[in-house]
Structure 1
Amino acid sequence: MMVHASPRSTVFAVHALGLNRHAYDPVRRHLDASRRFVAVELPGHGEAPPLRQPALNAYVDYVVDEVSAQAPHGLLHLVGHSFGGVVAAMVVPRLQEKGQAVASLTLLGTPAQGGSVFLDRADAVERDGGMEAFERSTIARWFGDNPPSEWDPAIHYASHALRTQSKASISATWRALASFQGFSGLTTAPHVLCVAAEDDLSTPPGVMAQIVDAIESRADGHGQVSLKTLVKGGHLFPLTMAPEVARLLEAQWSTAEDSTRSRGSVE
């Protein structure tokens, strides 16, 4: 884990498939230094060992354990990007069952549900030469055909991160994502923010709007859920549009903390 120390509230952030904890470095540089920020590295990514039996719930269990081990008393915020958003959303009710106060959940470019498309990607990775094709197609899907030159550092980081992943880990993560049943059955945090980018080829704003609709459709109440859309950034907009994402996050966390404290939930 990489920690940005602070005494105030704690944020736990989960990165996208194929990346690692450094995916949040650009955003962290633009955050309020008084806030503790922890980037959780998913199993099989970066320096984290792979799971023995990789399945969606196993990734969730891993993140729950990581958060529980480092969570102080007080408010928590969860952030997740893409597959990391799915995991973060599933972590929230597990933490709530443990009595942890989760003030907010922020989903960045997150798929609304699993499905066969992700199984197809897992199969493609497992074929001979699949990893090379996976890297090419993923970079194109994440950044588009003609990305601006200012995105070069993000592309370089993403390409390097993808090349360090094993075929087994990538395939396992795709299969885990394929099994996700969607957001309508999840208990979420009181404040949920969905962030999309207009030019995101993987999870465009319409997909994020489906998440908002699914959360709002819950019969047992949902708190506040909103969708913010960036005009550009591609799928990796937390890297390419880091200052804008950081501003949205800070506003989300401050609003959630003020609301929670006004209800007297936290001393």
Structure 2
Amino acid sequence: MDSSKLNIVKGGPIKGSTVVLIHAVGLDLTYWDHQIEALTANHHIVAVDLPGHGRSTRARHSGSIVDLARDVAMVIDDLGSRPVHVVGHSFGGMVAQELAISYPDHVRSLTLAATAASFSDEARDYMRSHGSAVSAQGMSAALLSLPLSLAGRTAQRRPDLLERLTRKILAMDPNVYAAAWREIAGFDASDRLSGIRCPALLLVGDEDRNTPPNASALLARTIAGATMVVIDGASHMLPMEAPERFNEELASFLQVVEKRATPHPKY
């Protein structure tokens, strides 16, 4: 896909190190609002709408995770500031993994939030059925599992967040959404994670039922030197449910990486 057809927003000092944000399936770059606000003081922030999401047009390619990683790589090329710090949430975290594996010279550091590298057969069957239900019934079928994406306390104190998510999901193209879930169901990067050589931070909520802490633990064990942080009282919508803690951990990690004399070696 021509990267010019992808909607992006930029903020923060041009001379600062660049942080690229990749959202979850069904969402868009506006769901990084807390992170954009917190990080633009010290970093150049680039948030991307994946194809068929937000204000980006639907891709002509298959929408595979491999294709999406290539799209983001082209965005980074156009920025002219590689390698960059990459932050991916959920499905965006899978795209970020593929980006770090296939385009290592593009990625200075990798932050993976509420994501996974592989799934059980039972989980894959559920994901396929979820995508099939949306294909057959439309986006209303996607709402059944939406409350499970939030911690119980969040759902009680932030009904506005559930309403915001509901409106966004209902506005999604069901074909793009279902295709993404088929991609998630088939995703398995577990045997390639050792190829990720940049600094990595893994963030996960202790109440995440979609990609629980043990999914991040697999990533932490396999990516050399990776750091894993479990955030209490949060579920799958981690960047929105616990933005202060999320931003604190992310900013601290970026600061440590920035203090290193040079970016990771290019391959």
TM range (shorter): 0.7 to 0.9
**Counterpart pick for 1:45 among 30, 44, 53:** 53
Q: Using the alignment, how far apart are the partners of 2:196 and 2:47 within structure 1? A: 20
- Cα distance in 1 for residues equivalent to 2:80 and 2:41: 18
Unaligned stretches of 5+ in structure 2? 1-7
**113, 117, 125: which is aligned to 1:116?**
125
Where does structure 1 lack aligned partners over 5 or more consecutive residues?
216-221
Q: Which amino acid aligns with 2:236?
A: H
Task: State the AA in 2 paired with 1:91.
Answer: L
CA distance in 1, matches of 2:141, 2:264: 53
| Partner Cα separation in structure 2 for residue 185 and residue 39 of structure 1 | 26
Q: Within 5 A, what are the aligned runs for 1:79-228?
A: 79-96=87-104, 99-100=105-106, 102-114=107-119, 115-128=124-137, 130-137=138-145, 139-144=146-151, 147-186=154-193, 187-215=195-223, 222=224, 224-228=225-229
Q: Which amino acid aligns with 1:157?
A: R
C-alpha spacing 1:23/1:264, structure 2 compared with 1 (3 Å): closer
Tell me: CA distance 1:162–1:42, structure 2 relative to 1, closer, same or farther (3 Å). Answer: same
Task: State percent identity of aligned pairs.
Answer: 24
Query: In the alignment, is the contact (CA less than 8 A) between 1:103 and 1:257 conserved in 2?
Result: no
What's the Cα RMSD here? 2.2
State the shift of 1:256 in Å.
Answer: 1.3
Q: Answer whether contact 2:76 2:84 (CA < 8 A) is retained.
A: no
SS of structure 2 residue aligned to 1:127: helix
Aligned partner of 1:67: which letter? I
Distance 1:12 1:264, change over 3 A: closer
TM-score where L is the length of structure 1: 0.86
Residues 120/263 of structure 1: CA separation in 2 closer, same or farther (3 Å cut): closer
